[in-house]
Structures are given as structure tokens and as C-alpha cells.
Amino acid sequence: MIVPMFKYSFLVFHADYDGFLEQLKDLGVAHIVEHQEEPTPEMQELYRKISDLSKTIKALEVRKKNKNGEDAGKITQTSGEKLNDRIKEIESNLEQTRQHLSSLYKEEKQLEPWGDFSRDVIQNLSAAGINIRYHICPETKYDVAWTEKYPVDLISETDGYSFFVWVADADNRELPEEMAEVDEITLPEDTLEEVRKEISSTQKEIDSLEAELDQIAIEDIQILTNYQNNLKEQASELNVRFQTFEEVEGRIRLVEAWIPKVRTEELEQQVDSQDLYYIKEPAKNHEKPPILLKNNRFARLFEPVSKLFSLPAYVEMDMTPFFAPFFMMFFGFCLGDAGYGLLLVFAATIYKPKAKKKMRPILTLVQFLGLATVLFGVITGTFFGMNLIENPPSFLADAKNMFLDNDQLFNLALIFGAVQILFGMILKGINQTIQHGIGYSFATWGWFILIVSSGIFYYLDQKTPEEGLFFGTVHMTFVVLSALGILLFNHPKRNVFVNIGAGLWDTYNMVTGVVGDLLSYIRLFALGLASAILGQVFNQLAFDMAPDVPVIGILITLIILLVGHGINIFMSGLGSFVHPLRLTFVEFYKNAGFIGGGKEYRPFQKVQ
């Protein structure tokens, strides 16, 4: 559910303003009303620093994890700002040093074919009028006779190329025509030995900088986190001051804030003790107050899922508790393997005590999704890709008929779709009644009655065709009542002809839309079938490809099973999460009339 909000307008004497803000921050219940959306340059700079720090802290956490908490000593810097500046300096030096190392490796690669030689000898020869020129050509183009005909010496042949020198003096400066496809190159000024020494020293410099970053990651992430929290508090306070109006020539400050109903009493006790004047009024729909969700323990697990799309608008119901059971069932339907489900449950259960506090609700959600997968694996008779319907073990031989076959699963997917779509219509009708009045919901209830009554009477007509119930008086009464709501009374403030036109257009959209929405739920069956087939394929590969050697055969079978089922769990698990999301956010939300666009409740408070 959405927690009701109240809007408070505080009138504060300018001398008491700073103390009032501290009091608000300590309470941590006031979401400041933002009248001005464009932040000041100072606030933008703080937001940039906070964003950069988030990236830095994440990178350091990854580095710390890779080091497995090894103790690398203590850092001398205690200031978060100085530490952050040092990290930026290290990262800049690392980038420059790595670029330099890359250029050194290129020089080494250029020099390696020529070997290590003395530059002094080359310079002495040059002073005597003898110049050494460096040439390269493909091995297929090099002629060994050149060493006898010309002042040529082959140095090496590497990677399909011949490297040779031409000893040029006053009489043979030009290459002959048969060397037209030979390229002359210029070598780096340093020798191979010098380049390798510089590579070694540069690598040591990089290792030293990396070690310092490791040291910071292991010992002082908390310093950066505290510094980031301080910046967040500064940015939050600047925003409050920015959104404050000055009245009575600056002597009075007007601060407006949204307070959840459950926290108003606490706030008023504090404010009344300070003799501050305030105005309290319930939130109005057009003011777009922030959204604070309050659900039971089960539905709360699915709030991160609902936030992937959008928070609800303040004027509507929170859809989280209504789609949560469907989402869990749909996930289990798509993955549909009892073995995979047990694996998810065990993995989440084992990791949960070691995980951070904020990760534990996610792991609890994984446990529920795993249980749903186990349930549908039992229903379909699938365990790690083994089809228990076709090849049941002896202890399940009598229960074979209890498993659902593919035709039944296909029908079950459509039944789930029909139930969720109709449930969405009920929610839409309730939403319309709450927001605008029952007169605006007649069309929705008309469609609901028409679809449900048609389904029921069609089923009864198939059971007793001789009674003609589908076209009987009772069903036709429901049809007429539905048509009145759909075509005539779909909007209480429009004339009847406009309503008829709008109703006909709505009829076209509903007929085409509902059928398409219902067919979308076939993906539940298709994904579950694909997951089961892939599991069977990997099982068959594992046993067919294993050699008939006792130990090696078992080892290869186990490797194929682990890799194959690992791939299947990842791919099928991803699809089992994404496609129920799509069914929720498109089919269900559309039929439930979901508006969305709510802004999350973020109180002005101290950052822990």
C-alpha cells in the first residue's frame, strides 16, 4: 500500500533557521517539496563528486574482494578528501605509466629481430662514413644471393619477415632495382637492453602504484564512504536551502515538506516544543507527493521488482502485493525444474547468513522463486532435465498420472493469463472508483461481467447443449447490462453520442488487445518447455559422449553435466525473470490501468 502523506508548511524566523534544519535532519522524516528543479552550480559539483566517489568505492571493493582481505599495512592519510585526491593521482599516474609501458613493448618488439647491439659502434661507423641501414621484407621476397652481391647481412627471420642491414658508404647508397619491394625502417634510439631495463623499472612503478591502491582498498574504504556521506549531507542541506522561500524581507523562511502519516505525531511533538508555526494539510492528487510503500513481509520482497518499472502514482493503489504471487508462479512455470529450484533454494540459504544486510531480502526472494520452481518441477515431473513422466522411477510409477503433460501445461498458461488479466480489470475498476467515483468505472465492470459471464455460460452450454444457456435469457441480461456500461455509461460527463463512439473504439481495442494479451502468456509454456528440453539434451550429451573408460568416462560425464546444466540454469533463469517482468509490466499493468510515475520518498536526514 501507499502510505498517506501530509504537506507541512513551516514558517521559521531567520535566526532559528539553521537550528530548525538540524532538527529536521535529526528527525529524518521530511521530504522537502522541490519548487525549483535546476540545481545550482555548487550542488551540481557536489553531485558530480558523489557520483565519482561511488565509482571509486565500487572499484576499490572489487579490488579488496580479489585480494581476499589480505593485510597490506596502514595508510597515512586520514582525510577522505586527501585520500580521494591521492587515489585520483594514482589512477592518473597509472594511466600514463601504462601508456608508456605499452610504447616500450612496441619498441621492444621492433628491436627484438635485430638483437642487442652497441649504439656506440654504430655511431663510430657513421662518423667514419659508413652508415648502417635497416631493411625488412617478406621471407618469400628475400634472396640469399644478396649477401654475395651487395653489402647485405641477414640478421634474422621472424614471423614471416626477413630482417637485414645494408652497409652504405659513398659508393653504394642506393638499393638496386631487385630490392624494390624492400622497406627501410628506423629503429628506436635506445638499444634492446636499455628498453628492457626501462620496461622492468616501469613495471615496478606500476606494481608499486597498484600495491598502494590495494592498500587503500583493504584498509580505508570506510574513510571514503564517510567522506561520501558527508558530501551527500552537504548536497541535501544545500537543496533544502535552495528550496526555501524568504518572506517578509528575509526575516521569515518558508519550508515545505511531505511527512508520512505514520511519522506526523513524532514530528509535531518536536516542532511544538520549539513554538514553531506550521500549516498541515492532506496531500492533494495534483501535487504529486512522494511515494512511500508499506507492504507485508512477502510483498515487500517484490518492491525492487516493481521499482524496475515505476513507482505508482499517489492517486492509485500499489500493485506490488497484487502481482507478487503471479510473478513467483510465472518464474517457477518458466524454469520448471525441481532440481534447479532446489539448487536456487540451497545456494541462497547457504549464502544468506554471510551476505550484507541489504542483500538478504534479495536472497529471500530467490528462495521463494526457487520454491516456486520446485513446485512446477514436481507438477511437470522434471528433475535436472530428467523427464519423470516418460521414465518414472519405481517409487513414482503409481504417481505418473499426476504429472501434467504438454497440452495441460499449455492450457494452464492460458488459464493463468486469463486469471491475471481479469484480476487486473477488477483492480482497474476499484482504482477508477476510488479516484473518480463509480460512474467512471462502469465500462471496466461491463467488460469484466461480459467476459466472465460469457466464459461461464459457454462452459455450461458445452456441458448441457440442449438447454441453450449461452443464448438464454440470463446470459443475454448480463450482455445487455455490460453493453450499457461499455457503450452508454462509460463517462458520466459526456453526452450519449460521444459515449457511444468512445465505447465502439474501446470495443475494438479491447477485442484485439485482450486476445493478444492472453496469447502472450503462452511464453510461460514455451520457456518451461525449452528449459526442460535443454536439460534433456545436456543429459544425453553427457552420457553419449563419455568414453567407455571407468574413471575418465565418469569424469567427462560430470564435466558435461556441470557445464551444460550451468549454462541452462543461467539462460533459463534469465528468461524466467525477464518474461514474467514483461507480462507484469505490459499485460497486467495495462489491464489494471496502472498510471505510474511516482517519485520515491527521500527524507532529509543524516546519511549513515
Tell me the average pLDDT across 42-48. 88
**Whole-number Å distance between alpha carbons of 150 and 175:** 9
Tell me the average pLDDT across 563-568. 89
Cβ 171 vs Cβ 121: under 8 Å: no
| Greater pLDDT, 78 or 215 | 215
Quick one: angle between helices 17-27 and 264-272, nearest 10?
A: 150
Tell me the average pLDDT across 578-592. 90
What pLDDT score does 40 carry?
83
Tell me the average pLDDT across 1-8. 89
155 pLDDT above the threshold of 60:
yes
Lowest mean pLDDT among 62-66, 77-81, 237-241, 557-561: 77-81
Q: What is the DSSP pairing of strand 183-185 with strand 131-138? A: antiparallel
SS3 string, 220-258, reads CHHHHHHHHHHHHHHHHHHHHHHHCEEECCCCEEEEEEE
Task: Point out which residues pair with 9 in neighbouring strands.
Answer: 256, 279
**Whole-number Å distance between alpha carbons of 484 and 593:** 21
492 pLDDT above the threshold of 60:
yes
The pLDDT tens digits for 290-341 are 889 998 999 999 999 998 888 988 888 889 999 999 999 999 999 988 899 9
pLDDT bracket for residue 395 (50, 70, 90): low
394 pLDDT above the threshold of 80:
no
Task: Point out which residues pair with 281 in neighbouring strands.
Answer: 7
Tell me the average pLDDT across 146-153. 89
Quote the Cα angle for 301-303-306, to 5°: 135
**Whole-number Å distance between alpha carbons of 273 and 19:** 13
**Whole-number Å distance between alpha carbons of 451 and 447:** 6
The amino acid that residue 416 corresponds to is F
246 pLDDT above the threshold of 70:
yes
> What percent of the chain is predicted at pLDDT more than 70?
95
What pLDDT score does 606 carry?
79
Say whether 391 sits in a helix, a strand or coil.
Answer: coil
DSSP 8-state assignment for residue 19: H
608 pLDDT above the threshold of 80:
no
**Whole-number Å distance between alpha carbons of 218 and 220:** 6
pLDDT bracket for residue 366 (50, 70, 90): very high
77 pLDDT above the threshold of 60:
no
Q: Rounded to two decimals, what is the model's pTM? A: 0.75
Cβ 381 vs Cβ 388: under 8 Å: yes
Q: Measuring CA to CA, which residue among 376, 360, 320 is closest to residue 524?
A: 376
SS3 string, 304-371, reads HHHHCCCECCCCCCCCHHHHHHHHHHHHHHHHCCHHHHHHHHHHHHHHHHHCCHHHHHHHHHHHHHHH
What pLDDT score does 552 carry?
83
Q: How many CA atoms lie within 13 A of 501 on its CB side?
A: 4
Round the average pLDDT of the chain to a whole number and report it. 85
Residue in this structure with the C-alpha cell 440442449, named with its chain if needed: 466
Tell me the average pLDDT across 439-468. 84
**Whole-number Å distance between alpha carbons of 92 and 107:** 23
Burial class (CB in 10 A: 0-12, 13-18, 19+), 179: buried
DSSP 129-163: T-EEEEEEEEGGG--TTHHHHSSEEEEEEETTEEE
Tell me the average pLDDT across 528-552. 82
What pLDDT score does 72 carry?
46
The amino acid that residue 212 corresponds to is E
Quote the Cα angle for 553-557-563, to 5°: 145
Task: Point out which residues pair with 386 in neighbouring strands.
Answer: 383
